[in-house]
Chains A and B, each alone.
Chain A
Protein backbone atom coordinates (compact mmCIF):
# COMPACT_ATOMS: atom_id res chain seq x y z
CA UNK A 1 0.00 0.00 0.00
CA UNK A 2 2.55 2.50 1.18
CA UNK A 3 4.80 1.66 -1.75
CA UNK A 4 2.16 2.08 -4.37
CA UNK A 5 0.80 5.32 -2.96
CA UNK A 6 3.34 7.62 -4.66
CA UNK A 7 2.87 5.74 -7.91
CA UNK A 8 -0.87 6.17 -7.57
CA UNK A 9 -0.41 9.83 -6.92
CA UNK A 10 1.80 10.18 -10.01
CA UNK A 11 -0.71 8.27 -12.09
CA UNK A 12 -3.49 10.44 -10.75
CA UNK A 13 -1.50 13.57 -11.57
CA UNK A 14 -0.88 12.32 -15.09
CA UNK A 15 -4.54 11.53 -15.54
CA UNK A 16 -5.55 14.97 -14.27
CA UNK A 17 -3.00 16.65 -16.49
CA UNK A 18 -4.24 14.76 -19.55
CA UNK A 19 -7.83 15.49 -18.65
CA UNK A 20 -6.89 19.13 -18.09
CA UNK A 21 -5.25 19.38 -21.50
CA UNK A 22 -8.28 17.72 -23.09
CA UNK A 23 -10.56 20.16 -21.29
CA UNK A 24 -8.35 23.03 -22.39
CA UNK A 25 -8.62 21.89 -26.00
CA UNK A 26 -12.36 21.46 -25.68
CA UNK A 27 -12.71 24.93 -24.16
CA UNK A 28 -10.68 26.64 -26.84
CA UNK A 29 -12.65 24.86 -29.55
CA UNK A 30 -15.83 25.98 -27.79
CA UNK A 31 -14.61 29.58 -27.87
CA UNK A 32 -13.81 29.21 -31.56
CA UNK A 33 -17.33 27.89 -32.19
CA UNK A 34 -18.87 30.75 -30.22
CA UNK A 35 -16.88 33.27 -32.21
CA UNK A 36 -17.80 31.51 -35.46
CA UNK A 37 -21.45 31.55 -34.52
CA UNK A 38 -21.41 35.27 -33.70
CA UNK A 39 -19.51 36.03 -36.91
CA UNK A 40 -21.94 33.91 -38.94
CA UNK A 41 -24.84 35.93 -37.52
CA UNK A 42 -23.08 39.17 -38.46
CA UNK A 43 -22.43 37.88 -41.98
CA UNK A 44 -26.05 36.79 -42.31
CA UNK A 45 -27.15 40.24 -41.18
CA UNK A 46 -24.77 41.84 -43.68
CA UNK A 47 -25.83 39.50 -46.49
CA UNK A 48 -29.54 39.95 -45.96
CA UNK A 49 -29.28 43.73 -45.89
CA UNK A 50 -26.64 44.10 -48.63
CA UNK A 51 -28.65 41.98 -51.06
CA UNK A 52 -31.69 44.10 -50.30
CA UNK A 53 -33.77 41.15 -49.08
CA UNK A 54 -35.24 43.36 -46.35
CA UNK A 55 -35.82 47.05 -46.61
CA UNK A 56 -33.42 49.28 -44.67
CA UNK A 57 -36.45 50.75 -42.88
CA UNK A 58 -36.99 47.37 -41.24
CA UNK A 59 -33.41 46.29 -40.74
CA UNK A 60 -30.48 48.57 -41.51
CA UNK A 61 -27.18 46.89 -42.37
CA UNK A 62 -24.19 46.66 -40.02
CA UNK A 63 -22.41 49.48 -41.86
CA UNK A 64 -25.35 51.83 -41.39
CA UNK A 65 -25.55 50.98 -37.69
CA UNK A 66 -21.82 51.52 -37.28
CA UNK A 67 -22.15 54.87 -39.01
CA UNK A 68 -25.03 55.81 -36.70
CA UNK A 69 -22.97 54.69 -33.73
CA UNK A 70 -20.10 57.03 -34.62
CA UNK A 71 -22.52 59.83 -35.42
CA UNK A 72 -24.42 59.56 -32.11
CA UNK A 73 -21.21 59.05 -30.18
CA UNK A 74 -19.91 62.43 -31.37
CA UNK A 75 -22.90 64.50 -32.40
CA UNK A 76 -25.62 62.98 -30.27
CA UNK A 77 -29.20 62.01 -31.00
CA UNK A 78 -31.66 64.88 -30.54
CA UNK A 79 -29.33 66.75 -28.23
CA UNK A 80 -27.77 64.01 -26.11
CA UNK A 81 -24.75 61.91 -27.02
CA UNK A 82 -24.64 58.16 -26.63
CA UNK A 83 -22.35 58.55 -23.63
CA UNK A 84 -24.77 60.92 -21.90
CA UNK A 85 -27.73 58.62 -22.56
CA UNK A 86 -25.82 55.59 -21.29
CA UNK A 87 -24.77 57.48 -18.18
CA UNK A 88 -28.34 58.64 -17.53
CA UNK A 89 -29.62 55.06 -17.76
CA UNK A 90 -26.82 53.58 -15.67
CA UNK A 91 -27.07 56.36 -13.10
CA UNK A 92 -30.78 55.77 -12.50
CA UNK A 93 -30.32 52.03 -12.44
CA UNK A 94 -27.36 52.02 -10.06
CA UNK A 95 -28.86 54.77 -7.87
CA UNK A 96 -32.03 52.81 -7.20
CA UNK A 97 -30.07 49.57 -6.86
CA UNK A 98 -27.60 51.06 -4.36
CA UNK A 99 -30.44 52.38 -2.23
CA UNK A 100 -32.07 48.96 -2.25
CA UNK A 101 -28.82 47.24 -1.25
CA UNK A 102 -28.15 49.68 1.60
CA UNK A 103 -31.63 49.26 3.08
CA UNK A 104 -32.70 45.81 1.88
CA UNK A 105 -29.67 43.83 3.04
CA UNK A 106 -29.82 45.03 6.69
CA UNK A 107 -33.61 44.59 6.77
CA UNK A 108 -33.33 41.10 5.27
CA UNK A 109 -30.66 40.15 7.79
CA UNK A 110 -32.91 41.35 10.65
CA UNK A 111 -35.82 39.41 9.16
CA UNK A 112 -33.70 36.31 8.94
CA UNK A 113 -32.44 36.66 12.51
CA UNK A 114 -35.70 37.59 14.21
CA UNK A 115 -38.98 35.85 13.45
CA UNK A 116 -40.97 38.82 14.75
CA UNK A 117 -39.41 41.24 12.28
CA UNK A 118 -39.92 38.66 9.55
CA UNK A 119 -43.60 38.28 10.44
CA UNK A 120 -44.10 42.05 10.48
CA UNK A 121 -42.37 42.74 7.17
CA UNK A 122 -42.50 39.61 5.09
CA UNK A 123 -46.00 39.92 3.65
CA UNK A 124 -45.19 43.36 2.22
CA UNK A 125 -41.99 42.08 0.62
CA UNK A 126 -43.73 38.97 -0.71
CA UNK A 127 -46.54 41.02 -2.24
CA UNK A 128 -44.14 43.45 -3.87
CA UNK A 129 -41.77 40.87 -5.27
CA UNK A 130 -43.99 39.42 -8.00
CA UNK A 131 -45.66 42.78 -8.70
CA UNK A 132 -44.55 44.12 -12.10
CA UNK A 133 -42.76 47.42 -11.33
CA UNK A 134 -44.27 49.26 -14.28
CA UNK A 135 -47.71 48.88 -12.71
CA UNK A 136 -46.81 51.21 -9.86
CA UNK A 137 -44.73 53.57 -11.99
CA UNK A 138 -48.01 55.30 -12.79
CA UNK A 139 -48.57 55.99 -9.09
CA UNK A 140 -44.98 57.10 -8.59
CA UNK A 141 -45.32 59.56 -11.46
CA UNK A 142 -48.51 60.85 -9.85
CA UNK A 143 -46.72 61.26 -6.50
CA UNK A 144 -43.23 62.36 -7.51
CA UNK A 145 -43.65 63.80 -10.98
CA UNK A 146 -42.08 62.70 -14.25
CA UNK A 147 -38.51 63.61 -13.26
CA UNK A 148 -35.69 61.43 -12.04
CA UNK A 149 -37.17 60.99 -8.55
CA UNK A 150 -40.01 58.75 -9.71
CA UNK A 151 -37.62 56.62 -11.78
CA UNK A 152 -35.05 56.15 -9.06
CA UNK A 153 -37.86 55.34 -6.60
CA UNK A 154 -39.21 52.80 -9.11
CA UNK A 155 -35.83 51.07 -9.41
CA UNK A 156 -35.40 51.14 -5.67
CA UNK A 157 -38.76 49.42 -5.25
CA UNK A 158 -37.87 46.93 -8.01
CA UNK A 159 -34.62 45.84 -6.38
CA UNK A 160 -35.62 46.17 -2.72
CA UNK A 161 -37.89 43.09 -2.30
CA UNK A 162 -35.47 40.87 -4.24
CA UNK A 163 -32.47 41.92 -2.16
CA UNK A 164 -34.41 41.70 1.10
CA UNK A 165 -35.74 38.19 0.43
CA UNK A 166 -32.29 37.01 -0.61
CA UNK A 167 -30.70 38.33 2.59
CA UNK A 168 -33.44 36.76 4.70
CA UNK A 169 -33.14 33.43 2.91
CA UNK A 170 -29.36 33.62 3.24
CA UNK A 171 -29.53 33.97 7.02
CA UNK A 172 -31.93 31.03 7.21
CA UNK A 173 -29.40 28.77 5.46
CA UNK A 174 -26.87 29.25 8.28
CA UNK A 175 -26.56 25.87 10.05
CA UNK A 176 -27.80 26.14 13.64
CA UNK A 177 -24.90 24.08 14.97
CA UNK A 178 -22.46 26.62 13.65
CA UNK A 179 -24.12 29.43 15.63
CA UNK A 180 -24.32 27.22 18.71
CA UNK A 181 -20.68 26.24 18.36
CA UNK A 182 -19.67 29.90 18.16
CA UNK A 183 -21.90 30.71 21.16
CA UNK A 184 -20.40 27.93 23.24
CA UNK A 185 -16.93 29.19 22.36
CA UNK A 186 -17.96 32.49 23.91
CA UNK A 187 -18.75 34.57 20.82
CA UNK A 188 -20.91 37.64 21.37
CA UNK A 189 -23.90 38.45 19.11
CA UNK A 190 -22.04 41.07 17.01
CA UNK A 191 -19.22 38.59 16.49
CA UNK A 192 -21.66 35.89 15.48
CA UNK A 193 -23.22 38.26 12.96
CA UNK A 194 -19.85 39.26 11.53
CA UNK A 195 -18.05 35.91 11.56
CA UNK A 196 -20.79 33.28 11.30
CA UNK A 197 -24.03 34.63 9.87
CA UNK A 198 -22.73 37.07 7.28
CA UNK A 199 -20.18 34.73 5.66
CA UNK A 200 -22.80 31.99 5.36
CA UNK A 201 -25.45 34.35 4.02
CA UNK A 202 -23.24 36.21 1.53
CA UNK A 203 -23.42 33.70 -1.35
CA UNK A 204 -27.20 33.94 -1.41
CA UNK A 205 -27.12 37.72 -0.95
CA UNK A 206 -24.87 38.03 -4.00
CA UNK A 207 -27.19 35.84 -6.05
CA UNK A 208 -29.99 38.18 -5.01
CA UNK A 209 -27.93 41.21 -6.02
CA UNK A 210 -27.44 39.81 -9.51
CA UNK A 211 -31.14 39.12 -9.96
CA UNK A 212 -32.03 42.53 -8.54
CA UNK A 213 -29.61 44.43 -10.78
CA UNK A 214 -30.87 42.58 -13.86
CA UNK A 215 -34.46 43.41 -12.90
CA UNK A 216 -33.57 47.06 -12.28
CA UNK A 217 -31.82 47.28 -15.64
CA UNK A 218 -34.86 45.88 -17.47
CA UNK A 219 -37.14 48.20 -15.56
CA UNK A 220 -35.12 51.36 -16.12
CA UNK A 221 -35.44 50.91 -19.87
CA UNK A 222 -39.18 50.33 -19.62
CA UNK A 223 -39.53 53.43 -17.43
CA UNK A 224 -37.53 55.50 -19.89
CA UNK A 225 -39.75 54.32 -22.72
CA UNK A 226 -42.73 55.61 -20.81
CA UNK A 227 -41.58 58.92 -19.43
CA UNK A 228 -38.12 60.38 -19.95
CA UNK A 229 -36.23 62.89 -22.04
CA UNK A 230 -32.87 61.14 -21.95
CA UNK A 231 -31.42 57.68 -21.45
CA UNK A 232 -31.07 54.73 -23.79
CA UNK A 233 -34.70 53.65 -23.37
CA UNK A 234 -35.83 57.11 -24.37
CA UNK A 235 -33.45 57.08 -27.34
CA UNK A 236 -34.87 53.79 -28.62
CA UNK A 237 -38.46 54.91 -28.09
CA UNK A 238 -37.94 58.28 -29.70
CA UNK A 239 -36.19 56.61 -32.65
CA UNK A 240 -39.19 54.33 -33.13
CA UNK A 241 -41.46 57.33 -33.55
CA UNK A 242 -39.28 58.66 -36.35
CA UNK A 243 -38.74 55.17 -37.79
CA UNK A 244 -34.97 55.52 -37.23
CA UNK A 245 -34.45 51.76 -37.19
CA UNK A 246 -30.67 52.24 -37.24
CA UNK A 247 -30.87 54.03 -33.88
CA UNK A 248 -33.18 51.33 -32.50
CA UNK A 249 -30.81 48.53 -33.50
CA UNK A 250 -27.85 50.48 -32.12
CA UNK A 251 -29.73 51.03 -28.86
CA UNK A 252 -30.55 47.33 -28.55
CA UNK A 253 -26.91 46.36 -29.12
CA UNK A 254 -25.64 48.91 -26.58
CA UNK A 255 -28.27 47.82 -24.03
CA UNK A 256 -27.42 44.15 -24.53
CA UNK A 257 -23.71 44.82 -24.03
CA UNK A 258 -24.36 47.00 -20.98
CA UNK A 259 -26.59 44.30 -19.48
CA UNK A 260 -23.87 41.72 -20.00
CA UNK A 261 -21.26 44.08 -18.53
CA UNK A 262 -23.35 44.74 -15.42
CA UNK A 263 -23.79 41.01 -14.90
CA UNK A 264 -20.09 40.30 -15.39
CA UNK A 265 -19.25 43.05 -12.95
CA UNK A 266 -21.31 41.42 -10.23
CA UNK A 267 -19.98 37.95 -11.10
CA UNK A 268 -16.43 39.26 -10.72
CA UNK A 269 -17.30 41.01 -7.46
CA UNK A 270 -18.92 37.79 -6.26
CA UNK A 271 -15.82 35.77 -7.12
CA UNK A 272 -13.59 38.28 -5.32
CA UNK A 273 -15.71 38.73 -2.20
CA UNK A 274 -17.40 35.36 -1.75
CA UNK A 275 -14.37 33.25 -2.62
CA UNK A 276 -15.66 30.50 -0.33
CA UNK A 277 -18.80 29.96 -2.42
CA UNK A 278 -19.43 26.29 -3.05
CA UNK A 279 -16.46 25.22 -0.93
CA UNK A 280 -18.40 24.12 2.11
Chain B
Protein backbone atom coordinates (compact mmCIF):
# COMPACT_ATOMS: atom_id res chain seq x y z
CA UNK B 1 0.00 0.00 0.00
CA UNK B 2 1.20 3.47 -0.86
CA UNK B 3 2.23 5.62 2.06
CA UNK B 4 -0.01 8.69 2.04
CA UNK B 5 1.37 12.06 2.95
CA UNK B 6 -0.66 13.80 5.64
CA UNK B 7 -2.71 16.79 4.40
CA UNK B 8 -0.49 19.17 6.40
CA UNK B 9 2.31 18.49 3.91
CA UNK B 10 0.06 19.52 1.05
CA UNK B 11 -0.93 22.70 2.83
CA UNK B 12 2.72 23.50 3.53
CA UNK B 13 3.69 22.74 -0.08
CA UNK B 14 0.92 24.98 -1.36
CA UNK B 15 1.95 27.85 0.93
CA UNK B 16 5.59 27.44 -0.14
CA UNK B 17 4.60 27.46 -3.82
CA UNK B 18 2.58 30.63 -3.34
CA UNK B 19 5.46 32.30 -1.50
CA UNK B 20 7.89 31.20 -4.22
CA UNK B 21 5.72 32.71 -6.95
CA UNK B 22 5.34 35.92 -4.95
CA UNK B 23 9.09 36.22 -4.32
CA UNK B 24 9.83 35.24 -7.93
CA UNK B 25 7.55 37.95 -9.30
CA UNK B 26 8.85 40.67 -7.02
CA UNK B 27 12.55 39.74 -6.83
CA UNK B 28 14.66 42.77 -7.60
CA UNK B 29 17.30 41.15 -9.80
CA UNK B 30 19.59 42.69 -12.39
CA UNK B 31 16.64 43.42 -14.72
CA UNK B 32 14.43 44.71 -11.95
CA UNK B 33 11.36 42.87 -10.69
CA UNK B 34 8.96 41.16 -13.10
CA UNK B 35 6.07 43.04 -11.54
CA UNK B 36 6.54 46.65 -10.45
CA UNK B 37 6.35 47.09 -6.68
CA UNK B 38 3.65 49.64 -7.41
CA UNK B 39 1.40 46.73 -8.42
CA UNK B 40 2.68 44.03 -6.13
CA UNK B 41 5.13 44.80 -3.33
CA UNK B 42 7.48 41.99 -2.32
CA UNK B 43 7.58 40.39 1.12
CA UNK B 44 10.45 42.65 2.22
CA UNK B 45 8.66 45.83 1.23
CA UNK B 46 5.49 44.58 2.87
CA UNK B 47 7.31 43.97 6.13
CA UNK B 48 9.03 47.36 6.12
CA UNK B 49 5.69 48.93 5.24
CA UNK B 50 4.13 47.21 8.22
CA UNK B 51 6.94 48.33 10.56
CA UNK B 52 6.55 51.84 9.19
CA UNK B 53 2.83 51.87 9.85
CA UNK B 54 3.22 50.28 13.26
CA UNK B 55 5.87 52.72 14.43
CA UNK B 56 4.78 56.01 12.91
CA UNK B 57 1.12 55.41 12.15
CA UNK B 58 -0.75 56.76 9.14
CA UNK B 59 -1.42 60.44 8.49
CA UNK B 60 -0.86 61.59 12.04
CA UNK B 61 -2.68 58.77 13.82
CA UNK B 62 -1.12 55.55 15.14
CA UNK B 63 -2.18 52.34 13.38
CA UNK B 64 -3.89 51.10 16.54
CA UNK B 65 -6.09 54.19 16.64
CA UNK B 66 -7.30 53.48 13.09
CA UNK B 67 -8.01 49.88 14.09
CA UNK B 68 -9.75 51.18 17.20
CA UNK B 69 -11.98 53.52 15.19
CA UNK B 70 -13.10 50.69 12.92
CA UNK B 71 -13.60 48.25 15.78
CA UNK B 72 -15.60 50.76 17.81
CA UNK B 73 -17.97 51.40 14.90
CA UNK B 74 -18.42 47.70 14.22
CA UNK B 75 -19.18 46.92 17.85
CA UNK B 76 -21.56 49.85 18.29
CA UNK B 77 -23.51 49.08 15.11
CA UNK B 78 -23.49 45.34 15.57
CA UNK B 79 -24.31 45.53 19.28
CA UNK B 80 -27.38 47.70 18.80
CA UNK B 81 -28.53 46.07 15.56
CA UNK B 82 -28.13 42.48 16.75
CA UNK B 83 -29.90 43.11 20.09
CA UNK B 84 -32.84 44.98 18.59
CA UNK B 85 -33.02 42.53 15.66
CA UNK B 86 -32.98 39.51 17.95
CA UNK B 87 -35.71 40.90 20.22
CA UNK B 88 -37.79 41.78 17.17
CA UNK B 89 -37.17 38.34 15.66
CA UNK B 90 -38.15 36.52 18.86
CA UNK B 91 -41.35 38.53 19.01
CA UNK B 92 -42.00 37.83 15.33
CA UNK B 93 -41.52 34.12 15.93
CA UNK B 94 -43.99 34.26 18.80
CA UNK B 95 -46.69 36.46 17.34
CA UNK B 96 -47.73 35.71 13.74
CA UNK B 97 -49.54 39.05 13.56
CA UNK B 98 -46.44 41.02 14.46
CA UNK B 99 -44.52 38.87 12.01
CA UNK B 100 -46.92 39.78 9.22
CA UNK B 101 -46.68 43.47 10.11
CA UNK B 102 -42.90 43.62 10.33
CA UNK B 103 -41.79 41.17 7.68
CA UNK B 104 -42.38 43.41 4.63
CA UNK B 105 -39.76 45.79 6.02
CA UNK B 106 -37.36 43.09 7.14
CA UNK B 107 -37.60 41.33 3.80
CA UNK B 108 -37.10 44.53 1.87
CA UNK B 109 -34.16 45.63 3.98
CA UNK B 110 -32.33 42.30 4.02
CA UNK B 111 -31.34 41.98 0.35
CA UNK B 112 -30.97 45.76 -0.08
CA UNK B 113 -27.31 46.69 -0.68
CA UNK B 114 -26.32 48.53 2.48
CA UNK B 115 -24.28 51.15 0.70
CA UNK B 116 -27.37 52.29 -1.21
CA UNK B 117 -28.98 53.63 1.94
CA UNK B 118 -25.70 54.97 3.28
CA UNK B 119 -26.11 57.75 0.71
CA UNK B 120 -29.52 58.67 2.12
CA UNK B 121 -28.25 58.41 5.71
CA UNK B 122 -25.46 60.84 4.85
CA UNK B 123 -28.00 63.31 3.47
CA UNK B 124 -30.05 62.94 6.67
CA UNK B 125 -27.41 62.70 9.38
CA UNK B 126 -24.27 64.14 7.85
CA UNK B 127 -21.00 62.44 7.12
CA UNK B 128 -19.96 61.81 10.75
CA UNK B 129 -20.19 58.83 13.06
CA UNK B 130 -23.98 58.94 13.35
CA UNK B 131 -24.68 57.93 9.77
CA UNK B 132 -22.14 55.09 9.94
CA UNK B 133 -23.50 53.61 13.17
CA UNK B 134 -27.07 53.80 11.87
CA UNK B 135 -25.92 52.14 8.65
CA UNK B 136 -24.38 49.26 10.59
CA UNK B 137 -27.42 49.05 12.86
CA UNK B 138 -29.63 48.67 9.78
CA UNK B 139 -27.24 46.13 8.27
CA UNK B 140 -27.30 43.89 11.37
CA UNK B 141 -31.01 44.22 12.21
CA UNK B 142 -32.76 42.19 9.48
CA UNK B 143 -30.22 39.35 9.56
CA UNK B 144 -30.56 38.96 13.33
CA UNK B 145 -34.34 39.26 13.18
CA UNK B 146 -34.71 36.54 10.54
CA UNK B 147 -32.38 34.21 12.46
CA UNK B 148 -34.19 34.69 15.78
CA UNK B 149 -37.57 34.18 14.11
CA UNK B 150 -36.35 30.95 12.52
CA UNK B 151 -34.97 29.89 15.91
CA UNK B 152 -38.33 30.32 17.62
CA UNK B 153 -40.17 28.55 14.79
CA UNK B 154 -37.81 25.57 14.91
CA UNK B 155 -38.47 24.88 18.59
CA UNK B 156 -40.10 21.48 18.74
CA UNK B 157 -43.78 21.83 19.55
CA UNK B 158 -43.57 18.70 21.69
CA UNK B 159 -41.11 20.30 24.07
CA UNK B 160 -43.30 23.38 24.50
CA UNK B 161 -46.37 21.19 25.11
CA UNK B 162 -44.53 19.10 27.69
CA UNK B 163 -43.45 22.23 29.55
CA UNK B 164 -47.01 23.60 29.44
CA UNK B 165 -48.44 20.27 30.59
CA UNK B 166 -46.06 20.37 33.54
CA UNK B 167 -47.57 23.71 34.46
CA UNK B 168 -44.94 26.14 33.18
CA UNK B 169 -46.12 29.72 32.79
CA UNK B 170 -45.81 31.48 29.44
CA UNK B 171 -42.69 33.29 30.65
CA UNK B 172 -41.16 30.08 31.98
CA UNK B 173 -41.78 28.36 28.65
CA UNK B 174 -39.99 31.20 26.92
CA UNK B 175 -37.17 31.45 29.44
CA UNK B 176 -36.43 27.73 29.80
CA UNK B 177 -37.62 26.14 26.55
CA UNK B 178 -37.96 28.50 23.61
CA UNK B 179 -35.03 30.84 24.21
CA UNK B 180 -32.42 28.12 24.86
CA UNK B 181 -33.56 26.23 21.76
CA UNK B 182 -33.42 29.36 19.62
CA UNK B 183 -30.00 30.46 20.91
CA UNK B 184 -27.95 28.42 18.50
CA UNK B 185 -29.86 29.86 15.55
CA UNK B 186 -29.48 33.35 17.06
CA UNK B 187 -25.73 32.89 17.20
CA UNK B 188 -25.64 31.70 13.59
CA UNK B 189 -27.44 34.90 12.70
CA UNK B 190 -25.05 36.95 14.81
CA UNK B 191 -22.04 35.52 12.98
CA UNK B 192 -23.66 36.27 9.65
CA UNK B 193 -24.53 39.76 10.86
CA UNK B 194 -21.07 40.65 12.12
CA UNK B 195 -19.58 39.59 8.79
CA UNK B 196 -22.01 41.81 6.92
CA UNK B 197 -21.52 44.69 9.38
CA UNK B 198 -17.75 44.48 9.07
CA UNK B 199 -17.83 44.35 5.27
CA UNK B 200 -20.26 47.26 5.19
CA UNK B 201 -18.13 49.32 7.55
CA UNK B 202 -14.98 48.91 5.47
CA UNK B 203 -16.98 49.91 2.39
CA UNK B 204 -18.48 52.89 4.23
CA UNK B 205 -15.07 54.05 5.42
CA UNK B 206 -13.75 53.78 1.88
CA UNK B 207 -16.62 55.77 0.43
CA UNK B 208 -17.18 58.32 3.17
CA UNK B 209 -14.60 58.24 5.89
CA UNK B 210 -11.68 60.19 7.24
CA UNK B 211 -10.49 57.63 9.80
CA UNK B 212 -10.40 53.86 10.19
CA UNK B 213 -8.86 50.99 8.27
CA UNK B 214 -11.05 51.34 5.18
CA UNK B 215 -10.16 54.99 4.80
CA UNK B 216 -6.50 54.20 5.39
CA UNK B 217 -6.23 51.78 2.46
CA UNK B 218 -8.24 54.08 0.19
CA UNK B 219 -5.97 56.99 1.01
CA UNK B 220 -2.84 54.86 0.63
CA UNK B 221 -4.17 53.67 -2.73
CA UNK B 222 -4.58 57.26 -3.88
CA UNK B 223 -0.93 57.91 -3.17
CA UNK B 224 -0.01 54.59 -4.82
CA UNK B 225 1.48 53.27 -1.57
CA UNK B 226 0.56 49.71 -2.41
CA UNK B 227 2.69 48.36 0.45
CA UNK B 228 0.36 50.16 2.88
CA UNK B 229 -2.68 48.93 0.93
CA UNK B 230 -1.46 45.33 1.24
CA UNK B 231 -0.68 45.66 4.93
CA UNK B 232 -4.10 47.23 5.42
CA UNK B 233 -5.85 44.37 3.60
CA UNK B 234 -4.03 41.77 5.69
CA UNK B 235 -4.97 43.60 8.91
CA UNK B 236 -8.59 43.92 7.75
CA UNK B 237 -8.66 40.20 6.95
CA UNK B 238 -7.16 39.19 10.29
CA UNK B 239 -9.49 41.49 12.22
CA UNK B 240 -12.45 39.97 10.37
CA UNK B 241 -11.34 36.47 11.32
CA UNK B 242 -10.79 37.62 14.91
CA UNK B 243 -14.32 39.06 15.13
CA UNK B 244 -15.82 35.85 13.79
CA UNK B 245 -13.69 33.63 16.05
CA UNK B 246 -14.60 35.61 19.15
CA UNK B 247 -18.29 35.13 18.39
CA UNK B 248 -17.68 31.40 17.94
CA UNK B 249 -15.87 31.40 21.30
CA UNK B 250 -18.77 33.14 23.02
CA UNK B 251 -21.20 30.76 21.33
CA UNK B 252 -19.29 27.71 22.62
CA UNK B 253 -19.46 29.05 26.16
CA UNK B 254 -23.08 30.16 26.05
CA UNK B 255 -24.64 27.43 23.89
CA UNK B 256 -22.57 24.61 25.34
CA UNK B 257 -25.39 22.16 24.67
CA UNK B 258 -25.38 22.76 20.89
CA UNK B 259 -25.42 19.56 18.87
CA UNK B 260 -26.28 17.45 21.90
A: residues with CB less than 8 A from B are 26, 29-31, 33-34, 36-38, 41, 57-58, 115-124, 127-128, 130-139, 141-143, 214-215, 217-222, 225-226, 232-233, 236-237, 239-240, 243, 245, 248-249, 251-252, 255-256, 259-260, 262-263
Contact = CB atoms under 8 A, between A and B. Distances in A.
Contacts of B188: none
Given A34-B101, A139-B233, A248 B120 contact: yes
Interface centre among A118, A132, A239, A249 (most CB of B within 10 A): A132
Interface residues of B, number: 64
Interface stretch (B47-55, B83-91, B156-164, B201-209): B201-209
Contacts of B33: none
B197 to A, nearest CB: 10
A259 B38 CA distance: 37
B10 A120 contact: yes
Interface stretch (B19-27, B147-155, B171-179, B214-222): B214-222
Given A130-B237, A135-B217, A252 B100 contact: no
Given A132-B202, A251-B116, A58 B104 contact: no
A123 B213 CA distance: 23
Contacts of A141: 221
The 3 closest A-B pairs by CB, nearest first: A259-B111, A119-B7, A33-B100
Interface string B224-260: 1010011011001100110110000000000000000
Interface of B: 5, 7-11, 13-15, 18, 38-39, 96-97, 99-105, 107-117, 119-120, 122-124, 195-196, 198-203, 206-207, 213-214, 217-218, 221, 224, 226, 229-230, 232-233, 236-237, 240-241, 243-244
Contacts of A240: 119-120, 122-123
Contacts of A217: 111, 113
Contacts of B240: 130-132
A134 B202 contact: yes
Contact of A139 (B13, B116, B124, B226): B226
Interface centre among A29, A119, A134, A221 (most CB of B within 10 A): A134
B160 to A, nearest CB: 17
Contacts of A239: 119
Contacts of B101: 33-34, 36-37
Contacts of B111: 214, 217, 256, 259-260, 262-263
Contact of B233 (A121, A136, A259): A136
Nearest to B101: A37
Nearest to A38: B104
Contacts of B97: 30, 33
A226 B113 contact: no
Contacts of B96: 26, 30
A31 B102 CA distance: 12
